[in-house]
Amino acid sequence: MHIHVNTASEHLRDFAERLPELFDREGEVLHAGRNTIKAFEAEGERLVVKRFKRPNLLRAVIYTFFRRSKARRSYEHAVRLRALGVDSPEPVAWSEYRRNGLITETYFVSRRSDFTPLTAATERFPTSDSLPVLAAFARFTVRLHEKGICHEDFNQTNILWRHDEATGRYDFQLIDINRMKFLRRPLRP
């Protein structure tokens, strides 16, 4: 087992360490597909845990010896995005479990966001009241590229949003961030 817990979330270490035994028995399923995403409450905090699909033998060798696991990349990308001023749910932990020396299971834990998936907003598009959110989304996308951030799975299911009534501002968060590139030289307008 290899586990990394954010220093700000050290009180959640026990939860992160027990994920292999908790994951199948507890939590609310948010998505069940190739990967499984569940919501949990631990230590009074709302968390989301993504268990990545078990890699086949070739990918297990690659993730064990040559490339960081998807869970680890998700965590590290969240840290980097937040350092660049781009919102993503706060990363809590990542863990890897091995069998016969090869990675078999990986988990990424983050705080649960109260933002809404962009898919919920696009169901009502296009309407005259949707133009402000579309304009704000376009500005957000430009800002990502200016910072050299290339989300390689940039679609409406991997973008969360909310409208701040007090300021009138639209805010966005990126999720499903294990496949990203950060360019050395950000793009300039």
Q: What pLDDT, in 10s, does the model give residues 150-162?
A: 999 998 889 999 9
Given a contact cutoff of 8 angstroms between Cβ atoms, the answer to whether 118 and 160 are in contact is yes
According to the model, what pLDDT value does residue 188 have?
A: 62
Give the pLDDT band (50/70/90) at residue 123: low
| pLDDT confidence of residue 78 | 98
Instruction: Using the predicted structure, report yes or no on whether residue 186 has a pLDDT greater than 70.
Output: no
69 within 8 A of 103, measured Cβ to Cβ: yes
Alpha-carbon distance of 180 to 14, in angstroms, equals: 29
pLDDT at 185 > cutoff 90: no
pTM above 0.95, yes or no: no
Q: What share of the chain is helix, strand, coil (3-state, %, to 5)?
A: 35, 35, 35
| pLDDT over 90, % of the chain | 81
**How many percent of the chain have pLDDT more than 70?**
92
118-153 residues labelled b (16+ CB within 10 A) or e (exposed): beebeeeeeeeeeeebeebbeebeeebeebebebee
In this prediction, residue 128 carries a pLDDT of: 67
Question: Rounded mean pLDDT of the chain?
Answer: 92
pLDDT in tens, 16-65: 999 999 999 999 999 999 999 999 999 999 999 999 999 999 999 999 99
pLDDT of residue 130: 73
Residue 73 has pLDDT above 60, yes or no: yes
